[in-house]
Amino acid sequence: MKLIMAVVQDKDSVKLSDALVKADYRATKLASTGGFLKAGNTTFLIGTEDEKVKDVMRIIKENCQSREQLVAPISPMGGNADSYVPYPVEVQVGGATVFVLPVEQFEQF
């Protein structure tokens, strides 16, 4: 048995959740916050048998697409704010960060 932890952008979470339910996978959703952009994420915890990991990964990949987004850089702390010009920077967001962990024991009460 494996535990799949998938961190996805909030924009993709409903689509992924619906796809997992449709494929008959159970998942627990946790609200989380990304460190780089301080943006909202959703972390999915999905327990599944070893032979179904590839199918879950396919579902995640199909429903969590990366995209380009413009973000304004954070102003420098303690620096000269007069020379700081906050030009937006294009960064890649979305997609999914996925961890697959072995499960030693599973109990459901």
Q: Across the chain, how many H-helices and E-strands are there?
A: 2, 6
Q: How many CA atoms lie within 13 A of 50 on its CB side?
A: 4
pLDDT in tens, the chain (109 residues): 999 999 998 889 999 999 999 999 999 999 988 765 566 789 999 999 999 999 999 999 999 987 666 666 665 555 555 555 567 766 655 678 999 999 999 888 8
- Give the number of residues written for the chain: 109
Q: How far is 74 from 50, CA to CA, in rounded Å?
A: 43
Cβ contact 75:85 at 8 Å = no
3-state secondary structure of 1: coil
Domain boundaries along the sequence of the chain: 2-73+86-102
CATH class of the region 2-73+86-102 = alpha beta
